[in-house]
Amino acid sequence: MTYEPPVTDYDYIVENCTCAFCGCNCDDLDYLVKDNHVVAVRHACRLGASKIMEDMDQRLLVPMVRDENGELKEVDWDTALDKAAEYIANSIRPVFYGWSETSTECMKEGVALGEYIGAVLDNQATICHGPSLQAVQNAGYPIQTLGEVQNRADMIVYSGSNAMNSHPRHMARYAVFCRGYFRQRGRFDRTVVTMDPKFSDTAKCSDKWIGFEQNGDYGFYNAIRAVLRGKELYQDVISGIPKEDIYELAEEMKNAEFGVLFFGLGLTHTLSKQRNIDIAIKMVQDLNRYSKWGLTPMRGHFNVNGFNIFMAFECGFAFGVDYCRGYPRYMMGETNTIDLLVRKEPDCFMVIAADPGAHFPNGANQHLANIPVIQIDIHWGPSTELADVVLPGSFIGVECAGTSYRMDGVPIYMKKAIDKPETCRDDEWIVRELKERVMKLREEPNVAPKYVPNPNAL
Amino acid sequence: MEYILKNGIVYDPANEINGEKMDVMFKDGLIVDNVSADAEVLDVTDKIVMPAGVDPHAHVAGPKLVVGRLYRPEDSRRGVTQKTKVLRSESGFSIPSCPATGYRYSRLGYGTVVEAAMPPLEAKHTHEEIATIPQLDIPAMPLFGNNWFVMEYAKDNNIEDIAAFVAAWLKISKGYGIKIVNPCGSEAWGWGMNVHGVNDKAPYFDVTSKEVIVALAKANEMLNLPHSIHIHPNDLGHPGNVPTTIETMDAVKGIKKGKGAAEVRDQVMHLTHLQFHSYLGNSWKDVTSGAEEVAKHFNKADNLTCDIGQVTFDETTTMTADAPMEYDLFKLSGLKWTNKDIECETAAGIIPCIYSKRSPVSTLQWAIGLELFLLIEDPWRVCLTTDHPNAGPFTRYPRIISWLMSNEKRQDMCDNEVHKWVHKRTLLPTLEREYDFYDIATITRAAPAKIYGFTDRGALTPGYRADIAVYDINPNDIDPSKQADEIEKGFNVADYTIKDGQILVKDKEIVKVKESQNIWVNVKGWEQNEQKVIDNIMPFFTQYYSVKWENYPVHDHYVSNPIRVDVDGK
């Protein structure tokens, strides 16, 4: 990194903006604005700052529709919205995927549309923390807000998460280096342990690195649980870790005053998937017999948790919600986007604030190439190449306001700092327009003719 | 629009109308005493007409509800219902989705529901959910009992600053009153501990639960808040908690009610889900009902009101800001346990719970709830709740009504359905009192409205909101003590539910959907004190909260259509 002199050439500062990058949702950013453009960002990490400042990089500015030659052609908003509405209204198995980088206000319009026509609504949890949610449904969810970690925690464990790279301010602002009310010396008052097969940047600044074998997570946590429950370990080495170290670690965890386990995709996506999280949750529950412990999944996008929370209060399920029968249905492996695509079920796909083109497995993307895809996004990406209609949205937290939920469930109102490009529209507006146009095209909603009470609900 | 509900049999305890055959008229959303000849006539001949229900304590919106839904898809699955042209789809049994919550309350004939626990830090979330629930008016009660600032002020007995803090935080969180949950205990849970009894101190803060209760009660009266302090005492659900409950009751002895806005209510403390606080004994082995002792004490202290938290024998989801208690439950049942600690403010716990008729403990809890209902003499001081969803879902209210109205039904259950502990460890089989319709109208409408200081609902007084429920029961043609099942059926779905003069339920079907409104209290006259307190705590806030001050309050964006109750605090 070369030295960059501070930016002095700006018109005004907008304070206390919220970062629209990772699940930390840092709400202390100051934007330096010149000519309706953010020229510098104070307090943000490099990930957040570059996303906010480089917002015009590969920016989608004009609505586009793919013509018969397969070329995306710039069109006016009416044409693009009508085309998209036509695709949705004519479909019988539409999937609306994404939502994690937009506001809950926009999701509200999306769920109204989805319920009206009987779509599947799903978000990035299906490819990231879905296993965590599965485990939560199996084992429980002992969490705490990040301020609680800051003020009380004296032992921090990162497992399968390289916070230093993925959530750069997590350690500084919430968990490790910050001074807390009961941890006045900050870093010196905390023990930091990184559990990861890789000697990551987070491991480098930890007190302890537990480099268990790849796919050894389940065995390792199982061993800790056994020790916590007073059992003896028979093998000398478990998941690549000598048993003496496991005894020592278990003892240390028991003696912490307030411990927190942060886990990332390194834990959700190794061999045992949701079972890893399952056993980690149970370990935390066991630890509470001796001291106080909690955990928090390191959510990636700034509002991926928001979608799960939003859907849970709208319909009772967190993600992968299928409305085709007129009521919400959720079944892992059945109503999730990847499974649907691989089975070639969907006949229309709307992607909002996500990039399946870059992240989905090949088999899923192959089907996307064959069906109409509507993209609502601010940047060009591989999904644009798959899209038949492109609707340029605006940047939540910079160009328009909206609500997001931090990884620990704290809601934050992300305010608007600058105006959006003239030709773009707010995500919320776009989805509302689509909803209204679809309702005109398909006057009969996907509903029961009459209210039939569910005897189980009474 | 003008309407006239014709020939109904009216129960309106606030106006001392007990089963009179009369007409109820309303116009432009309000009850009136006469209408023109053009008024639309709704024929409700020989049907029960009551003010719409007021639920004084339920958990319907907020962060812990959402975690409950998120981690219990099995519960959501249980209540799915298809969308219709009028209604959105529903889901959930004990923790229904937001639309389902509104519809189901509306079908029961309810119009107002108090969300009983709102952590100020996540108040935005609660208000987002309130906005998603249709059909109801929903005040929310912010949690103060484990707030660090409150504990610090209480330690110094600095009532004035507590009052200013509360006034400010009601504005910030758009809340209605002071909720206290396991005072000092949820803070102790920050270190995996709990407090036991009212004289136990919170670790570090060096203040007892009793000091916090008294300080908040005094601040409440100083501010003239319409509701009194609303307390969930220490030691919930622990055998032998009766002394704690009684000491909590005694703590507010001698505290005078505030003048002005508080005139409408009689109490200085509302004890919630008293059933969970009436256990004698030392362990679950020798636990017995403490209802008689608690009720005796309660009857004597006329500055108290309560709701019950009646167990209904269902598989439900317990959720409370009393997080250490939820961990105790986890140690007992081993079911999936959720915890949610909120920095500097509170904590919460959630765990599924199966109340079974075959279980001795469930039976005991069920019996204690009914004993309290029957032993507390004045129906104006007791409200019908299940502490939804803790002791059972609110959809069971009609069943509880049928139990209260029929001794025969209760005796039959004691003898044939529930565990034999009911005979050995409770008084229930010996209690013969039966509620009548007037009493039922009191405990579900008039009393909760009075306790909350509502001056616009809970009665059919001209000028009040036209919140009315009509049930297809003919009181002259039914014997509630013998026809318990018909009573339950009759109260299960209202014939009409009218909210603010709009007919939401007609012929037992929802015909109209209305947006919810939040009710919040705006204390006037304390602005300078509020600013002083905020200035004082700002250095702490900046350093130890994980959000910026600017992002802490509930912005107007989240409460688009509130009912603001202005209170003269001076």
What is the pLDDT at residue B91?
Answer: 96
Looking at the complex, report in whole angstroms how far the Cα of residue A143 sits from the nearest Cα belonging to chain B: 5
Residue type, B419: H
A457/B96 CB distance under 8 A: yes
pLDDT-based confidence at residue A447 (cuts at 50, 70, 90):
confident
Cis peptide before B389 (omega within 30 of 0): yes
Mutation pick from B75, B78, B80 vs chain A, by most beta carbons of A within 10 Å, is B80
What is the pLDDT at residue B258?
Answer: 84
Spell out which residues of chain A touch residue B190, defining contact as CB-CB under 8 Å. 148, 152, 258, 292
How far apart CA A265 and CA A131 sit, in angstroms, is 9
A316/B492 CB distance under 8 A: no
A144/B341 CB distance under 8 A: yes
Spell out which residues of chain B touch residue A288, defining contact as CB-CB under 8 Å. 192, 327
What is the pLDDT at residue B204?
Answer: 94
**Residue B558: closest CA among A288, A242, A108:** A108
How far apart CA A335 and CA A338 sit, in angstroms, is 9
Looking at the complex, report in whole angstroms how far the Cα of residue B555 sits from the nearest Cα belonging to chain A: 8
Spell out which residues of chain B touch residue A308, defining contact as CB-CB under 8 Å. 70
Spell out which residues of chain A touch residue B340, defining contact as CB-CB under 8 Å. 141, 143-145, 409
How far apart CA B6 and CA B23 sit, in angstroms, is 5
What is the pLDDT at residue A57?
Answer: 86
**Residue B192: closest CA among B330, B69, B21:** B330
Nearest to B557 among A174, A309, A413 (CB): A413
Looking at the complex, report in whole angstroms how far the Cα of residue A61 sits from the nearest Cα belonging to chain B: 28
What is the pLDDT at residue B261?
Answer: 62
CA angle at A216 for the pair A213 and A218, rounded to the nearest 5°: 160
The predicted-structure confidence for A318-329, as pLDDT tens digits, reads as follows 999 999 999 999
What is the pLDDT at residue A94?
Answer: 97
What is the pLDDT at residue A1?
Answer: 61
The predicted-structure confidence for A59-95, as pLDDT tens digits, reads as follows 999 999 999 999 999 999 999 999 999 999 999 999 9
Task: Label residue B274 exposed, middle or buried (CB < 10 Å: 0-12, 13-18, 19+).
Answer: buried
Mean pLDDT of the A268-288 span: 95
Nearest CA in chain B to A148: B343
Mutation pick from B107, B551, B560 vs chain A, by most beta carbons of A within 10 Å, is B551
Assign 3-class secondary structure to B84-96: CCCCCCECCCCCC
Tell me the whole-structure pTM to 2 decimals. 0.96
CA angle at A220 for the pair A216 and A222, rounded to the nearest 5°: 120
Please state at what angle helix A274-287 crosses helix A130-139, rounded to 10 degrees: 50
Nearest to B124 among A152, A315, A403 (CB): A403
Q: Residue A182 to residues A284, B191, B312, B394, B522: CA-CA distances in angstroms?
A: 21, 11, 43, 41, 34
**Beta strand ranges found along B152-274 (DSSP E):** 179-181, 229-232, 269-271
Nearest to B544 among A143, A180, A411 (CB): A180
Nearest CA in chain B to A137: B71
Q: Residue A152 to residues A202, B75, B371: CA-CA distances in angstroms?
A: 21, 34, 43
Domains with residue ranges and CATH for chain A:
12-52 (no CATH), 58-128+302-441 (3.40.50.740), 130-297 (3.40.228.10)
Asked if A202 and A164 touch (Cβ cutoff 8 Å), the reply is: yes
Nearest CA in chain B to A290: B192
Nearest CA in chain B to A449: B84
How far apart CA B87 and CA B450 sit, in angstroms, is 32
The residues near B3 (Cβ < 8 Å, ≥ 6 apart) are B25, B26, B27, B35, B39, B40, B41, B42, B466, B498, B501, B503
Assign 3-class secondary structure to B425-446: HCCHHHCCCCCCHHHHHHHHHH
B336/A138 CB distance under 8 A: yes
Looking at the complex, report in whole angstroms how far the Cα of residue B469 sits from the nearest Cα belonging to chain A: 20
Mean pLDDT per 10-residue segment, chain B (570 residues): 94 96 96 93 96 97 94 94 94 96 97 96 96 96 96 96 97 97 96 94 95 96 95 95 96 88 84 96 95 96 95 95 94 94 95 96 97 97 96 96 97 96 96 96 97 95 97 95 96 97 96 96 96 97 96 93 92
Mean of per-residue pLDDT scores for chain A: 95
**Total residues belonging to chain A:** 458
Look at residue A2 and tell me whether its pLDDT is greater than 80: no
Spell out which residues of chain A touch residue B95, defining contact as CB-CB under 8 Å. 316
Mean pLDDT of the A435-453 span: 89
**Alpha-carbon torsion (A146, A150, A152, A158), positive or negative:** positive
Q: What DSSP string runs through A306-351?
A: HHHHHHHHHHS-SS-EE-TTSS-EE-TTTSSHHHHHHTT--SEEEE
**Residue A351: closest CA among A133, A60, A45:** A60
**Residue A75: closest CA among A441, A428, A390, A430:** A390
**Residue A38: closest CA among A60, A65, A56, A16:** A56
A142/B67 CB distance under 8 A: no
How far apart CA A454 and CA A458 sit, in angstroms, is 7
Spell out which residues of chain A touch residue B79, defining contact as CB-CB under 8 Å. 316, 454, 456-457
